């Protein structure tokens, strides 16, 4: 069996289920970002900052109420777009595998700082889990 025939025999019905963080979990509305920054709390380290706001603090009638629960920010001062994207992908993967909880009780906005580029995957994972514990979430 050749590689081409093995790939074609998988087909869409046999393709593996995506393990990526669902888009529905990502915060997309500006109102939630602003509320998290202005009304929420922050814990930080040299590498990351975690802004969080309990979900009950966003009014149910607010249009932002039906949005996701987490966002990952990588400011331009960190570097070129490819560098920022790589760091954001690593943060998203760590969150998905090790930090996320099935029903988040707060909106979380993770903000990377320039020294985060130096961290290997395991150190970044440790930093994110420590911040989550310090936030009491």
- For the chain, report the end-to-end CA distance as a whole number of angstroms: 51
How distant, in Å, are the alpha carbons of 69, 83, 86, 89 from that of 121?
23, 14, 11, 11
Domain ranges for the chain = 20-135
The tens digit of pLDDT for each residue in 79-116 reads 999 999 999 999 999 998 988 887 788 899 999 999 99
CA triple 18-20-21, angle to 5 deg: 135
For tokens 């009780």, the residue is 105
Read off the pLDDT of each residue in 55-84 and give the average, rounded to a whole number.
Answer: 80
CATH class of 20-135: alpha beta
> Distance between CA 92 and CA 21 in Å, rounded?
7
Does pLDDT of 117 surpass 70? Answer: yes
The per-residue pLDDT for 91 is: 94
> Distance between CA 137 and CA 99 in Å, rounded?
10
The per-residue pLDDT for 23 is: 74
CA triple 59-63-66, angle to 5 deg: 85
- The whole model's pTM is what? 0.78
């Amino acid at each position: 069996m050749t590689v081409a025939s093995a790939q074609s025999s998988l087909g869409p019905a046999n393709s593996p289920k995506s393990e990526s963080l669902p888009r529905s979990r990502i915060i997309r509305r500006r109102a939630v970002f602003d509320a998290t920054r202005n009304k929420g709390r922050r814990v930080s380290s040299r590498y990351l900052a975690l802004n969080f706001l309990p979900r009950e603090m966003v009014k149910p009638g607010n249009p932002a109420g039906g949005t996701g629960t987490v966002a990952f920010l990588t400011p331009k001062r960190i570097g070129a777009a490819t560098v920022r994207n790589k760091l954001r992908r690593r943060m998203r993967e760590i969150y998905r595998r090790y930090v996320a909880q099935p029903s988040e009780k707060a909106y979380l906005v993770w903000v990377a700082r320039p020294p985060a580029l130096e961290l290997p995957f395991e150190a970044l994972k440790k930093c994110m889990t420590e911040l989550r514990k310090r936030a009491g979430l």
